[in-house]
Amino acid sequence: MSDCIFCKIISKEIPAEIIYEDDNTLAFLDINPINVGHTLVIPKAHHENIFDMPEDILSKAVLVLRKVAKSLDKISDGINIGQNNRLAANQLVNHFHFHVIPRFENDGLKHWPGKIYNESEGKSVAEKIRENLE
């Protein structure tokens, strides 16, 4: 994709601090880290989101995701793994990517808040999710 910033990082048209690279997958530092060491793991093939990802490419990227997470785990206190799909979920770059975010005791980041289900809401949404499974 010619206008995709991550494709340009893959082709080395724009620089990035590369952490790991193989034929299928690239890992590099996020330019605006949530914490120092925040790494992005991307398949080299351009697919917009998790719904578009071919299973074999996704599986290979997940193994690299774990490799990077294990490395970051050695220099931090914990790891968050994130993956945003669509604008409503804050996906700003439309090339599938995982965020691997090192966490540190008392790093000041807040966990996202938890809501409470009212009466039948849980059963009803669970039913809808089960119906839509493919």
- Tokens for 133, please give them: 């499974």
Supply the residues annotated as catalytic. Answer: 97
- Considering the complex, state which of residue 88 and residue 92 has its C-beta at the smaller distance from ligand 5GP: 92
* CB contact at 8 A, 20 and 67: yes
Q: Minimum Å distance from CB 102 to Zn ion? A: 25
- Considering the complex, state which of residue 99 and residue 103 has its C-beta at the smaller distance from Zn ion: 99
User: Cα 71 vs. chain centroid, distance in angstroms?
Assistant: 16
Indicate whether 4 belongs to the interface with Zn ion (CB under 5 A): yes
Report the residue closest to ligand 5GP, judged by CB. Answer: 31
**Minimal CA–CA distance to 19: which of 4, 2, 36, 37?**
37
Cα–Cα distances in angstroms (integers) from residue 117 to residues 88, 114, 132, in the given order = 21, 10, 20
Indicate whether 103 belongs to the interface with Zn ion (CB under 5 A): no
Indicate whether 46 belongs to the interface with Zn ion (CB under 5 A): yes
Which chain residues interact with Zn ion by CB under 5 A? 1, 4, 6-7, 46, 95
